[in-house]
């Protein structure tokens, strides 16, 4: 199997074609962060709603390659319903995993595990991380 076939796995394609939690809310209780990668045009906005220390909703909107768009969808499913602390911890370890650094392997990354394949394409790691970085910024 070519490396590229490992990258474009069904999970990623499913989230790319049928994104979950897509579309922003016009609600001042949501905190937004917008990240743009000017070199390729990836452009993602993440919105987070936090209530009583729980991430109750995550929305996303943007344009970009399949890796960028699908990772935003995966993120929204993975971290919704978690405590802020837990969500921050998972997001941080997801980024460590993609950067090939030590990370907490006991975490269940659910669909996000599919993005491990991106490690083999250093030029594309950025695509898989910007949604998570934007999410981190919404919690700051």
Partner 1 sequence: MNFLNLKKDFPVFEQGPLVYLDTAASSLTPTTVIDTMNEYYRTMPVNVHRGVYQMSYEATKKYESARDNIAEFIHAEDEEIVFTRGASSALNMLARMYEPYIEETDEIIVSEIEHHSHLLPWQQVAKRTGAKLVYVPLTKEGRITVDNFKSVLNSSTKVVALTAVSNVLGYRTPLKEIIKLAHEKGAVVSVDAAQSVPHEKVDVKGLDCDFLAFSGHKMLGPTGVGVLYGKKAWLDAFEPLEFGGDMVDYTYKENATWKDAPYKFETGTPPIAEVLGLSEAINYLKNVGMDAIKAHEESLQTYAMKRLEALEGVSVYNHTSETGIIAFNIDDVHPHDAVTFFDEDNIALRAGHHCAQLVMAFLNVAATLRVSFYLYNSKDDVDAFIESLKNARNFFTSVGF
**Residues at the site binding partner 1, with contacts judged by CB under 8 A:** 2-5, 7-8, 10, 13, 16-17, 39-42, 63-68, 121, 123-124, 127
CB of 93 to partner 1, least distance (A): 25
Specify the residue, 31 or 65, whose C-beta has the smaller distance to partner 1: 65
CB of 16 to partner 1, least distance (A): 8
Around 122, how many Cα atoms within 13 Å sit in the side-chain half-sphere?
1
CB of 64 to partner 1, least distance (A): 7
CB of 86 to partner 1, least distance (A): 31
Specify the residue, 63 or 83, whose C-beta has the smaller distance to partner 1: 63
Specify the residue, 18 or 83, whose C-beta has the smaller distance to partner 1: 18
């Amino acid at each position: 199997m070519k490396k590229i076939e490992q990258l474009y796995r069904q999970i990623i394609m499913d989230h790319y074609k049928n994104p979950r939690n897509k579309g922003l809310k016009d609600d001042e209780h949501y905190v937004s962060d917008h990240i743009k990668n000017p070199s390729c045009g990836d452009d993602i906005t993440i919105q987070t709603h936090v209530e009583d220390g729980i991430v109750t909703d995550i929305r996303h909107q943007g344009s970009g390659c399949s890796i960028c768009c699908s990772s935003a969808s995966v993120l929204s499913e993975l971290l919704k319903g978690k405590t802020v602390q837990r969500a921050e911890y998972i997001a941080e370890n997801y980024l460590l995993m993609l950067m090939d650094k030590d990370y907490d392997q006991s975490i269940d990354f659910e669909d996000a595990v599919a993005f491990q394949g991106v490690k083999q394409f250093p030029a594309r790691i950025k695509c898989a991380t910007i949604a998570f970085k934007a999410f981190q910024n919404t919690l700051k």
